[in-house]
Structure formats: C-alpha cells, structure tokens
Amino acid sequence: MTRPTYILPIIILSQFTGTSIWFAGNAIVFDLQRDWGLAEQSVGYITAAVQLGFIIGTLVFAFLAIADRFSPRRVFFICSVFGALANVAVLYSAEGLSSLLILRFATGFFLAGIYPVGMKIAAGWFDKGLGRALGYLVGALVLGTAFPHLIRASGSEIPWQQVMTGVSILSVVGGTLMLTLVPDGPHLPKGSAFNPQALRIIFRSKAFRASAFGYFGHMWELYALWTFIPVWLLAYSELNHSALNIPLWSFLIIGIGFFGCAVGGVISDKIGSAKVAAFQLSISGICCLLSPLFFYAGLPVFIGFLLVWGIAVIGDSPQFSALNAENAPREYVGSALTIVNSIGFLITVFSIQLINSLLTVIGPEFIFWLLFPGPVIGLWMLRPLLK
C-alpha cells in the first residue's frame, strides 16, 4: 500500500493536539495559587500526578494489550476524548488540591492512550525512516506540552478556565482527525502479551542496559526542568525587577525542543542514534552544571542559555526510544519498552518532588544542580554504545 503524503502530518498534528493537555495544569498553576490559595509546592504535585497517571495507564494498557486488541486509531480517539473530559473537569471540581490532583492523574492515565499509541500508529506506516518520523512525533509532544503556556501568554486577561477548555477542544479535534483520516497502516506491528517476567531478562543484555540507563538519566532531568522553568523565570524576574512574559518564554524554551528532536532525527540517519543522544545529553548536563552562573547573567544571555538547554534536553529522547527498541531482546520488545518507559516516568516523579521539597530551602539559582547527576549517569551508562 502506498503511503499518502498527508499521513505523517496528520499523525504529527494529532499527537500535538492530544498531548496539549499534559502540562495544562502547569500553565495555570499561578492562577490557581491566587484563586484557590494553593501552596507554592503545588506545581510539583500537579506534574507528579499526571506522571503517575501516565505510568499506571501505560501498565494497564500493556497488561490488557489494548492497542493490539483494538484499532490503535480508535484507542487514540477515545483516549483523546476522555483525556479532554478529565482536563476540563477541573472547571467543575471543588477548589482544592485533592480534587485537582485526582483529575490530573486521570488526564495522565488517558495520555497513555495518546502518546505511545500515536507512536504505534506511525510505526504502522513506516517500515523505513521510522527514526526520523519518531523525531517529528516527539517534537509534536514537545510543542503540545508547551502549547498551554502559549495560550496563557496571548493575554493576561484570558481566564485560566478558557485555557483548560481550549486545549481540551484541541485534544478532541486531534483524536477526530486521527480516527477519520489515518487508517491502520500496512506495517502495523502486532505486540505480544505483556510479560512482567521480562524484567528479570531484559537487563541481562549489556546493550539494552546501556540504552535504558542512558534514558533513565535523561528522564531524571527532562520533566523536572519543564516543570520548574516558569518558577525559575519568575525568580529571575523578581531578582532583576524585569517584566518577563513568563508564559511566552516558558512556551519558547520548552517548544524549541521540537528542533532538537527533528534535526537530531535527521542526523541520526548518518551518525547513529547513540552519538546524537550522547551529544545532546552532554550539552544538557553542562547546562545543569552552569545554571547558577547564568541565573545572574543579563537577560539576553539568560534567555539564550535557556533556549539552548530547551533544544538539548529533549532532543535525545527519540534517539533513546530508537536505541531501546533496537537493543531490547526480540521476544520481549513490547514488554521491555513498557517497563523502561514506566521506570523512566517514575524517575521523573522523584526528581520533581526532590526539587519541590527543596524549593524553599535552597536558593532558586541552585535548584537545577539537583538534576546534574541524571546526565552524568546517563552518559556513563551509554558508553558501550559509543564504541
């Protein structure tokens, strides 16, 4: 079957709109702190709730083989709708942290039927060039993650309720596009049943350990940085008495990672995924180490530094996905990827909560030092794949 030219753009667009609900809670957290009286640490709890929901959702979908028993595009559509409902339900919930966390958990649960399933839909259409396609798809995740900040940046007069409603509508639109315009591809992979016993087997492979632990180091840093970028920008703004458009710069710093993913995917065709991942993880680690210095730099240097970091911090992600798929034992590929992704997102919960707990203890300029061990350990473990 010939692949229509519109297939990849529609998948990318649907992935972008579907994942726009991921960080919607973060984009409005300052409003909720003002209107609901939430504590400063609530930003970490909100992100952690989504991450935990995604972890549980991923495991449930894998155990029940949902995307194998049913058409992935139908799964994508249903989860886009239910994820949107969980997201917009914040408008009608009690004004408290507990109900907010439950709804963010539910949003994360349904995201497990959007982000990974979107990857599977793409794999059904790409028997060749999948690495490049995954680069664009992870880039779409980046833009979707950043998009609520852009909506918030378009005007301070926009109520936070409209932000949540807007991204929920986008999620439904994306799911509808996927359902109606993207048929199941001719190369759709058939997954084997999830086998939790694979945990004892998959890490015996030296190559898989290298890619998996490299990915774990990357995940220690990624979502914690994305979570606390607005907090860091606010602290810088208050220190320098500058009127920064925090939502706009949050969008740009996170969203610019699209180029790291897309360009990295193209380069990986020539030099390999391991080298691309190692280079970007190195840049990201250096940014962690130097972050206190740049916190006191002038505004152009400060913003330029964060934009470079935004490119590098996510650009290695699709390459780690490709490496994990390539090095997993053939008979356990599906189970291995599920286990590694779940562990990776669980790691994000710990790094987010570590910064969250120390946010008021150490100076804001030092909080990203806590992320430095992730890139260091990731690079050290990745060494066997660079030889």
> CA 71 → CA 5, 106, 183, 190, distances in Å?
21, 22, 9, 11
State residue 268's pLDDT score.
Answer: 83
User: What would the pLDDT profile of 139-198 be if each residue is shown by its tens digit?
Assistant: 888 999 898 988 888 766 778 889 999 999 999 999 999 999 988 777 666 666 677 777
Average pLDDT of the chain is: 88
pLDDT band at residue 233 using 50, 70 and 90 as cut-offs:
very high
**Intervals of CATH 1.20.1250.20 along the chain:** 1-191, 198-387
Residue 1 has pLDDT above 60, yes or no: no
State residue 215's pLDDT score.
Answer: 96
CATH of domain 198-387: 1.20.1250.20
Q: Is the pTM of this model over 0.75?
A: yes
State residue 192's pLDDT score.
Answer: 61
Radius of gyration of the chain from its Cα atoms, rounded to whole angstroms: 20
- 1-191, what's its fold? Growth Hormone; Chain: A; (1.20.1250)
User: What would the pLDDT profile of 9-27 be if each residue is shown by its tens digit?
Assistant: 899 999 999 999 998 988 8
User: What would the pLDDT profile of 350-369 be if each residue is shown by its tens digit?
Assistant: 999 999 999 888 888 999 99
Percent of the chain with pLDDT over 70: 94
